[in-house]
Amino acid sequence: MEEIGHFIGGKRVAGQSGRTQDVMQPMDGSVRAHVALASAAEVRQAVENAKAAQPEWGATNPQRRARVLMKFLELVHKEYDALAELLAREHGKTIADAKGDIQRGLEVVEFCIGAPHLMKGEYTESAGRGIDTYSMRQPLGVVAGITPFNFPAMIPLWKIAPAIACGNAFILKPSERDPGVPMRLAELFVEAGLPAGILNVVNGDKEAVDAILDDPDIKAVGFVGSTPIAKYIYGRAAANGKRAQCFGGAKNHLIIMPDADMDQTVDALIGAGYGSAGERCMAVSVAVPVGRETAERLVEKLVPRVESLKVGPSTDASADFGPLVTREALERVKGYVDLGVKEGAKLLVDGRNFRMQGYENGYYMGGCLFDEVTPEMRIYKEEIFGPVLSIVRAENYEEALRLPTEHEYGNGVAIFTRDGDAARDFAARVDVGMVGVNVPIPVPIAYYTFGGWKASAFGDLNQHGPDAFRFYTKTKTVTSRWPSGVKEGAEFVIPTMR
């Protein structure tokens, strides 16, 4: 049985706390490995390594730092298939989906190779008489990321790449449910030339999280997970004087206008609603057909598609999606389906009793589809995070627009229509951070920023894109004047540029 410890000072080290947790293989319910759960002392050891290594790395010019990222990309591509298989076995998503997880992370690494340009400051000659003003971006020092189980490659890379490109040292606390890929990525960074101590991985639970939040040498923390935990981390980090960006839950709507291409719409709902067993913060979980006729056409086409979804083990190339990540997650999602029935929603497709032959101990569930869901129901208000899609019928466009706008969460939303005016109006008025027009999962490309609104995000700056470089740097502004421009005598009024 593999024993997974931590990655500190450029190498794997055994856990010292004496506490471990099983790493499961969701497709068959077997134990793959044991992962150590770090103590506060082990977190501090990682921080001390990072703190010692960071000054030299921060003084390294951005182009040399970018070359490490280039080499890292080369090494990952050589191990792409092995990494995807490991990710799939620990998480449960299909291998094809795991490859997408890795690829979306690598795209941010590619963007961060532009660090020499993105780190540039500004310069103004003669801002005042004999005065020049310029600014420079400098690293924060030691920063940290706390990342979720559902994207064990993508989200860590979204945080590691810009942080180290800016000259910081990084402490990663990945999900203890699927730690294998983050550990291997850390090894590949060192193999690519990253100095020992610049990237440390501590596996753990709340004890490790709190140690990160309370450590005075960690200057910034990034988090992705549920909204209650995002609020907790944001509040505790802020109370300790840290910069924080915390991303929480979602309830993503897809609005279907009467003129939408229904076949295209159903394809979008099937992929975005049920891919990765719905364990995505950008999964579509609410379909909003506008008008009775639109709703009836949607149901007619959607029901047989949901009924025909193929659920299978992660290694089945023909499977549409695999198992959920844990037995607890499976029971939680089933509980929400039970609740929806109790609340009066109409369960059109029931996947609760799905069993995978030969994998009876796996955490499988078939696709579920509710109709006649209303905004008062908990299955509408709360994030289910499973293969469950709810249809909420709207009488007109304005009612459809109000649903995502008035919802507690504001991560992503989409509208499917052939009407450019409707799409433009929707994009301008909807109170949600990321909008898709005939695109069901509007995750921005790497050189734009990713981030929701309302209870889906806490903090002023988003993930990846230019915001990441702002988050992981501090701006220093210098105003200079040389003796030849100095006037005689003291000045007792506030300096101005007149």
> Rounded to an integer, what distance in angstroms lies between the CA atom of residue 147 and that of residue 224?
5
**Is the CA virtual torsion 46, 48, 53, 56 positive or negative?**
positive
> Rounded to an integer, what distance in angstroms lies between the CA atom of residue 198 and that of residue 203?
16
> 155, 107 in Cβ contact below 8 A?
no
- At 9, list the tokens: 């000072």
Q: Which residues contact 80 (CB under 8 A, 6 or more apart)?
A: 99, 102
> 429, 405 in Cβ contact below 8 A?
yes
Note if 368 is an active site residue: no
> Rounded to an integer, what distance in angstroms lies between the CA atom of residue 338 and that of residue 379?
10
Q: Which of 166, 246, 281, 368 is catalytic?
A: 281
Q: What are phi and psi of 155, to 5 degrees?
A: -65, -45
Amino acid identity, position 85 = E
- The helix or strand, by DSSP H or E, that contains position 22, with its residue range, turns out to be strand 20-25
Count Cβ atoms below 10 Å from residue 104 Cβ, excluding itself.
Answer: 20
> Rounded to an integer, what distance in angstroms lies between the CA atom of residue 226 and that of residue 247?
8
> Rounded to an integer, what distance in angstroms lies between the CA atom of residue 20 and that of residue 2?
12
Q: Which residues contact 74 (CB under 8 A, 6 or more apart)?
A: 192
Helix (H, G, I), strand (E, B) or coil at 152: coil
- At 231, list the tokens: 């609020």
- At 283, list the tokens: 């999964």
Count Cβ atoms below 10 Å from residue 426 Cβ, excluding itself.
Answer: 24
Task: Quote the DSSP letter at residue 225.
Answer: S
Residues annotated as catalytic are: 281
